[in-house]
Structure 1
Amino acid sequence: MSLVDLVAPPMAGHLHPILGIAARLAREPGIEVRVISTAGAGPAIAASGVPGLALLEGADEVLETVVNPPYRIGSNPRRLARQLRAAVGLQREFRGELLGVWAVRRPDLVLADFTMGAVGSAADEIGVPWWTTHPSPCAIEGRSGPPSYLGGWRPGVGVLGRGRDAVGRAIVRGFKGLAPRLAGVRLADVGLARLHRPDGSEAIYSPERIFALTPEAIEFPRSLPAAVRYVGPVLHTPPTPAPPPELTPGRPAVLVTAGTHLPWHKQALLAAATEAAAALPDVDLHVSLGGDPVPASALGSGVTVHQYVDYARDLPRFAAVVHHGGAGVLGHTLAAGLPSVVVPVDYDQFDHAVRLTEAGVAVAVTTTLAAAIRTVLDEPSYRRAAEEIAAGLARTPAVELVAAEVRARLSGFGPTTADPAAGFAP
Structure 2
Amino acid sequence: MRIDLIAPPYSGHLHPILAIARELAPRHAVRVLSTPSAMAQVARAGLAGVPLLDADAERVLDAISDPRHAVRNHPLRMHRQLRDALGVMARFAQALRAAYAQAPPELVIADFTVPVAGTVAQALGIRWWTSLPSPCVIETPDGPPAYMGGLMPAAHAGARLRQALARRAVRGFKRGVHWLHRRRMRALGLPQLYRGDGSEAVYSPERILALGVAALEFPCTWPAALRFVGPRLPVSGRDTPWLPPRAAPVFVAGRRHVLVTLGTHLRWAKNAFDARVRALAAAMPELEFHFTDGDVTAGHHEHSGNYQRLAHVDYARWVGRYDLVVHHGGAGILYRCLAEARPAIVCPQDYDQFDHAARLQHAGAALWLRDLDGLEAAVRRAFAEPSLFAGLPALQAAVRACVAAHPLAELVECDGDTAP
Please give the TM-score of this superposition, normalised by the length of structure 2: 0.93
- In structure 1, the partner of 2:366 is 362
In the alignment, the residues of structure 2 paired with residue 171 and residue 126 of structure 1 have an alpha-carbon distance, to the nearest angstrom, of 34
- In structure 2, the partner of 1:7 is 6
In the alignment, the residues of structure 2 paired with residue 246 and residue 135 of structure 1 have an alpha-carbon distance, to the nearest angstrom, of 31
- In structure 2, the partner of 1:135 is 133
Say if 2:47 is the partner of 1:50: yes
In the alignment, the residues of structure 2 paired with residue 213 and residue 398 of structure 1 have an alpha-carbon distance, to the nearest angstrom, of 13
In the alignment, the residues of structure 2 paired with residue 147 and residue 81 of structure 1 have an alpha-carbon distance, to the nearest angstrom, of 19
In the alignment, the residues of structure 2 paired with residue 354 and residue 268 of structure 1 have an alpha-carbon distance, to the nearest angstrom, of 23
Q: Is the 8 A contact 1:84 1:180 kept in 2?
A: no
- CA apart distance, 1:402: 2.4
Picking from 135, 144, 158, the partner of 2:156 is 158
- Aligned to 1:217, what secondary structure does the other structure show? coil
Q: Is the 8 A contact 1:233 1:398 kept in 2?
A: no
- CA apart distance, 1:290: 0.5
- Aligned to 1:193, what secondary structure does the other structure show? coil
Between the aligned residues of both structures, percent identity stands at: 43
Q: Is the 8 A contact 2:319 2:337 kept in 1?
A: yes
Q: Is the 8 A contact 1:21 1:399 kept in 2?
A: no
- CA apart distance, 1:179: 1.4
Picking from 163, 170, 173, the partner of 1:172 is 170
* 1:197 maps to amino acid: R
Distance 1:301 1:63, change over 3 A: farther
- In structure 1, the partner of 2:325 is 321
Say if 2:413 is the partner of 1:407: yes
In the alignment, the residues of structure 1 paired with residue 337 and residue 244 of structure 2 have an alpha-carbon distance, to the nearest angstrom, of 19
In the alignment, the residues of structure 2 paired with residue 101 and residue 183 of structure 1 have an alpha-carbon distance, to the nearest angstrom, of 26
Provide, for residues 313-347 of structure 1, a one-character-per-residue CA deviation record: whole Å limited to 9, x for no partner: 11111111100001111111111111100000111
In the alignment, the residues of structure 1 paired with residue 404 and residue 6 of structure 2 have an alpha-carbon distance, to the nearest angstrom, of 18
Please give the TM-score of this superposition, normalised by the length of structure 1: 0.92
Provide, for residues 281-320 of structure 1, a one-character-per-residue CA deviation record: whole Å limited to 9, x for no partner: 2211100100175889x66385111100001111111111
In the alignment, the residues of structure 2 paired with residue 344 and residue 195 of structure 1 have an alpha-carbon distance, to the nearest angstrom, of 28
- In structure 1, the partner of 2:381 is 375
Distance 1:123 1:398, change over 3 A: farther
- In structure 2, the partner of 1:278 is 282
Q: Which runs of 5+ in 1 are unaligned?
A: 417-426
Picking from 241, 244, 249, the partner of 2:248 is 244
In the alignment, the residues of structure 2 paired with residue 185 and residue 251 of structure 1 have an alpha-carbon distance, to the nearest angstrom, of 59
Q: Runs (4+) of structure 1 moved beyond 6 Å? A: none
Distance 1:109 1:294, change over 3 A: closer
* 1:54 maps to amino acid: P
In the alignment, the residues of structure 1 paired with residue 74 and residue 305 of structure 2 have an alpha-carbon distance, to the nearest angstrom, of 34
Structure 1 window deviating more from structure 2 (241-250 vs 359-368): it is 359-368
- In structure 2, the partner of 1:20 is 19
- Aligned to 1:218, what secondary structure does the other structure show? coil
- In structure 2, the partner of 1:40 is 37
- CA apart distance, 1:395: 3.1
* 2:37 maps to amino acid: G
Distance 1:223 1:44, change over 3 A: same
Provide, for residues 164-194 of structure 1, a one-character-per-residue CA deviation record: whole Å limited to 9, x for no partner: 1110000000000111344686311211120
Distance 1:4 1:293, change over 3 A: closer
Taking the TM superposition and a 5 Å limit, the aligned residue runs for 1:121-132 are 121-132=119-130
Q: Which runs of 5+ in 2 are unaligned?
A: 235-239
In the alignment, the residues of structure 2 paired with residue 227 and residue 62 of structure 1 have an alpha-carbon distance, to the nearest angstrom, of 32
Q: Is the 8 A contact 1:277 1:370 kept in 2?
A: no
- In structure 2, the partner of 1:67 is 65
- CA apart distance, 1:163: 1.1
- CA apart distance, 1:3: 0.5
- Aligned to 2:286, what secondary structure does the other structure show? coil
- In structure 2, the partner of 1:419 is none
Q: Is the 8 A contact 2:211 2:229 kept in 1?
A: yes
In the alignment, the residues of structure 1 paired with residue 414 and residue 282 of structure 2 have an alpha-carbon distance, to the nearest angstrom, of 55
In the alignment, the residues of structure 2 paired with residue 103 and residue 253 of structure 1 have an alpha-carbon distance, to the nearest angstrom, of 53
- Aligned to 2:285, what secondary structure does the other structure show? coil
- In structure 2, the partner of 1:266 is 270
- Aligned to 1:104, what secondary structure does the other structure show? coil
Provide, for residues 88-138 of structure 1, a one-character-per-residue CA deviation record: whole Å limited to 9, x for no partner: 111111111111111111111110000001011111101111110111111
* Superposed CA RMSD: 1.9
Q: Is the 8 A contact 2:228 2:402 kept in 1?
A: no
- CA apart distance, 1:273: 1.0
In the alignment, the residues of structure 2 paired with residue 160 and residue 143 of structure 1 have an alpha-carbon distance, to the nearest angstrom, of 17
Structure 1 window deviating more from structure 2 (272-281 vs 181-190): it is 181-190
- In structure 2, the partner of 1:90 is 88
- CA apart distance, 1:376: 2.1
In the alignment, the residues of structure 1 paired with residue 180 and residue 300 of structure 2 have an alpha-carbon distance, to the nearest angstrom, of 40
Distance 1:272 1:100, change over 3 A: same
Distance 1:399 1:6, change over 3 A: farther
- CA apart distance, 1:158: 2.4
